[in-house]
Amino acid sequence: MSRDLPSPQRGFTLIELVAVIVLIAILAVVAAPKFLNLSRDAKIAALNGVAGTMRSTIGLVKAKAVIAGYTVFASNPGNSVQPVVDFGGFSSEVDWRNLCPESRAELGDQLTMIDFITLGESGGLTGTFNNRYTLVGYDIPGFSVPTNQGCYIIYDSFGDPDCTVTLVTVDC
């Protein structure tokens, strides 16, 4: 009577396991920066999209201001003229220096730049504004005066001769 002997158990040796772990570690070190840059690139692409929306808004508000008969003033006209353009139920105050939409209007329920770009709840973008600046992005360092650090857009409504939209992508 012949007896079937069990076949010997075959597994991975310790050397084979270490070799596989080292190979995976090398791949991770090489691939990780590529994936990290995708996140940075996605943030910068989103900021570019918002900046484009801001520039379109500026063009639209300026065109409506010119159609309404407003012109650029050499000095602040004070309360005698408050340039405001109508958007069918909403309005936007424009700056006397350049006819750009103001970051924050002094005349009550006027639209701000953030209202025009409609920041959503998702995506991590946040926005803040004061009388001169609108700041929108992922890492906004300060409220009162923007810096060259962070990951955000600076809209300067008081720019002379024109308002500016500047991307800061140092920390994206």
pTM of the model: 0.75
Q: What is the pLDDT of residues 24-48, one digit of tens each?
A: 878 777 777 766 677 888 899 999 9
The predicted-structure confidence for 74-119, as pLDDT tens digits, reads as follows: 777 776 667 888 888 788 888 888 999 988 877 666 788 888 887 7
Q: What is the DSSP string of 48-104?
A: HHHHHHHHHHHHHHHHHHHHTT----SS--GGG---EEE-SS-EEEB-TTT-PBPSS
**Can you read off the two tokens belonging to residue 117?**
């770009």
Cα–Cα distance list, 110 to 2, 27, 81, 106 (Å): 96, 54, 16, 8
| Mean of the per-residue pLDDT values of the chain | 83
Paired tokens of 53: 């929306």
Q: Write out pLDDT tens, residues 43-59.
A: 999 999 999 999 999 99
**Residue 7: what residue type?**
S
Q: Measure the CA–CA gap between 54 and 56, rounded to whole angstroms.
A: 5
